């Protein structure tokens, strides 16, 4: 996998091929792009969990996707190509990753695994 910070920068900036650029103007939920986004977020949360200071652009990205994706995909005109529980698990994944990044604590313990959620 390419450097997770480079991936996050492109994703959070809604760059070419990013999940957000497909979601917002194209109304497309690209599972591969979503998985790339959340994998980079997970790697970032893991690597930064013990750091006392957070980079602003990364924090803004985690904050933004944690509410925007749910809000945008919940719109009645957004095409729902996947089962409703898939979206709920995806939204929970974003919430979990934001929690992990901001608090420095992984919510994936006690038998709960990151890969099992989406």
Q: Yes or no: say if 21 and 69 are a contact pair by the CB < 8 Å rule.
A: no
- pLDDT tens-place string over residues 8-42: 999 999 999 999 999 998 889 999 999 999 999 99
Percentage of residues of the chain with pLDDT beyond 70: 91
Write down the pTM of the prediction. 0.89
Give the mean pLDDT of the chain.
90
- pLDDT tens-place string over residues 47-60: 998 888 999 999 99
Residue 43 half-sphere exposure toward CB, CA atoms < 13 A = 13
Residue 116 binned pLDDT confidence (cut-offs 50, 70, 90): low
Residue 35 half-sphere exposure toward CB, CA atoms < 13 A = 9
Assign residue 88 a region: left if phi > 0, alpha if psi is -120 to 50, beta otherwise? alpha
Task: Choose among 35, 28, 98, 99: nearest CA to 65.
Answer: 98
> What pLDDT, on the 0 to 100 scale, is given for residue 110?
67
- Domain segments of the chain: what residues? 4-116
């Amino acid at each position: 996998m390419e450097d997770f910070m480079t991936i996050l920068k492109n994703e959070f900036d809604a760059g070419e091929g990013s999940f957000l650029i497909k979601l917002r103007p194209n109304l497309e939920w690209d599972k591969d792009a979503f998985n790339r986004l959340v994998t980079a977020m997970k790697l970032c949360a893991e690597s930064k969990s013990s750091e006392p200071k957070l980079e602003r652009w990364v924090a803004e990205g985690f904050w933004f996707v944690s509410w925007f994706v749910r809000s945008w995909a919940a719109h009645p005109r957004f095409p729902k190509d996947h089962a409703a529980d898939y979206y709920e698990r995806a939204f929970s994944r974003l919430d979990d990753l934001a929690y992990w990044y901001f608090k420095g604590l992984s919510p994936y313990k006690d038998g709960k695994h990151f890969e099992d959620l989406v």
